[in-house]
Chain A
Amino acid sequence: MRLLWLVFQMRMKRQLAYQTAAYAGIVTQIVFGLVLVAIFAAFYPNGIKAPMTLPQVTTYIWLGQAFFAMTPYSVFPDAELREQIRDGSVATELLRPVDLHSLWMARTLASKLAPTALRCLPVIVVATLFAGMHLPPDIPSFLAWLLSTIGALVLISAFIVLMILTQFWTVAGDGLSRAVPGIAAATSGQLVPLALLPDNIRVVFEWLPFAGMVDKPYAFWVGTRPVSDLPFVLGHQLLWTGVIIVAGRMLLGRGLRRLTVTGG
């Protein structure tokens, strides 16, 4: 455990070194946020019956931009891990006296957390001051958001490790993992808040793991989900995290069994 903590810290340090990338990211996020807010604002004159008000949608969109680095938009935040499978150096990794899945989990957590930490505050500050974002309605909502965001981070990391592991089968390219950003964006709430989708679709999406990565935590901040829902949200996240980790471990086991290490 101590070792994993060290790995996590090392990764954090390394990721935090990429400050220029973070500044560029902030600019991207702000432009993107403005575009999305403008699109929703165009729709809203007809949106009297909508289950979210325009300020709520605006806040939701800006949260999505502030925490964009955390979402599974990029399936490979830590490109080295994918390369390890591709170029075979994963064999060296196996020599280390650490459980491979946990090691990758620690690295992925760090490579998701660090860029998010660098980017989220500036975006929130700018959006709150100039672009109509609102703070959480009260402190309990904020705390519920914070807890469920931690849950989301772990869930996302587990999911990304699973995606990395599919590389054992589709070595030449990114195969399956290519579909993920699209699916995640559509079903998580990244593109459209789930509350605005038609009810029969929304119900399905709410059960999928992606909702726990974006929509559920955001809803606490925005105030469209009561704080009393927190146990259900955390339960949903935890359950999916467990399922994904078990699947990942099985995949890793099978991948390693197939793996033939050549050379001396």
Chain B
Amino acid sequence: MKFNFQMWWLFTRAALRTQMADASNAVLWAAATLLGMLLEWATLWALFARFGSIPGWDFASSSMLFGLVRIAFGIAEMIGRGFDRFHHVIRKGDFDRMLLRPVPVAIQLSVAEFSRFGMIGAGMVAFLYGCSAAHVVFNFGTIAYLVAVISGGAALFYGLLMMQATLCFWTVDGIEVANAVVYGGQTAAQLPLDKLSRPLTFVFTYVFPLAIINWIPAKVLLTGEFNLLALAAPLIGWLFFGLGALVWKMGVRAYTSTGS
């Protein structure tokens, strides 16, 4: 475990050095993502400006949802970009090389990519704006809960990235199916779940429980009332991560190289 962590740190430091070698590009990238995300947030504002608020839900609370989901996804992507791009690894045959190294492949694929700071930054801007506009009261308990929720959300997305990567063992290409839930989910997460249609509610509660880690915690912050499901939310995210890890392990075991 300690060795694996040291290796991960080594890889990550090397990756950071590479990215910093062309610092202007890294900064530009982060700034670009930040700008894109803020624009997306602005369209949400435009919708509320046009239509006014929905019963029980306004721009402030929607901003919290918008921010929370992007912070979580940004963290997952920062560490899990390797899984997201796994089809390149498979197609080029690089996976065989990874298997030869005496470090678990999952560690090799988890090398952090810091350009994702843009998304996390935009998420934080939106989330903090939402919290202050909705007069959310922070105390030690809610902050601890928030940290747990964000970690659970990141774990949830990370688990999904692993499942998506596992698919590549069979399909080699065409991993867009997972995108439907990843990006569709982020868009859906901007509005409270009970305002969406029933099939979507089902998918984002039971299949990919994004609403549990996003909407329910946001409601807790807004009302200050905890309930059992809200407390279990981070755990559900981590359970999904466990499921993803399990699926990934099975995929690696079933992998047969086309090798030479």
Contact = CB atoms under 8 A, between A and B. Distances in A.
Given A38-B200, A170-B28, A179-B32, A32 B184 contact: yes
B56 to A, nearest CB: 11
Contacts of A171: 22, 25
Contact of B28 (A24, A175, A187): A175
Interface stretch (B5-13, B146-154, B167-175, B225-233): B167-175
Interface in A171-198: 171-176, 178-183, 185-187, 191-192, 196-198
Interface string B165-202: 00000010111110111011001101100011101100
B180 A197 contact: no
A173 B25 contact: yes
Interface stretch (B35-43, B130-138, B211-219): B35-43
Contact of B35 (A38, A45, A183): A183
Interface in A3-18: 18
Interface residues of A, number: 45
B187 A192 contact: no
A262 interface: no
A42 interface: yes
Contact of B180 (A23, A28, A42, A178): A28
B97 interface: no
B43 A192 contact: yes
A79 to B, nearest CB: 9
Contact of B22 (A25, A36, A173): A173
Interface in A36-63: 36, 38-39, 41-47, 50
Contact of B187 (A39, A175, A178): A39
A47 B50 CA distance: 8
A196 B188 contact: no
Interface in B1-49: 18-19, 21-22, 24-26, 28-29, 31-33, 35-37, 39-40, 42-43, 46-47, 49
A198 B22 contact: no
A175 B46 CA distance: 28
A203 interface: no
A39 B52 CA distance: 14
B184 A31 contact: yes
Contact of B174 (A18, A176, A183): A18
A174 B31 CA distance: 12
A181 B39 CA distance: 11
A21 B42 CA distance: 32
A186 B42 contact: yes
B246 interface: no
B187 A35 contact: yes
Contacts of A28: 176-177, 179-180, 184
Nearest to B39: A186
Given A28-B180, A170-B28, A173-B29, A20 B191 contact: no
Contact of A197 (B21, B31, B50): B50
Contacts of B140: none
Given A25-B176, A38-B200, A182-B39, A170 B25 contact: yes
B47 A43 contact: yes
A209 to B, nearest CB: 15
B50 A196 contact: yes
B180 A32 contact: yes
B51 interface: yes
A27 interface: yes
Interface string B66-92: 000000000000000000000000000
A183 B52 CA distance: 24
A219 B115 CA distance: 36
Contacts of A42: 54, 191, 195-196
Given A34-B197, A43-B47, A196-B50, 8 more contacts: A18-B174, A20-B171, A31-B180, A170-B24, A173-B26, A178-B29, A192-B46, A196-B46
11 contacts: A18-B174, A27-B176, A34-B199, A38-B191, A38-B197, A39-B187, A42-B54, A44-B51, A47-B50, A182-B33, A185-B36
Q: What are the 7 closest A-B residue pairs judged by CB atoms, nearest first? A: A182-B36, A179-B32, A186-B39, A21-B174, A28-B180, A172-B22, A31-B180
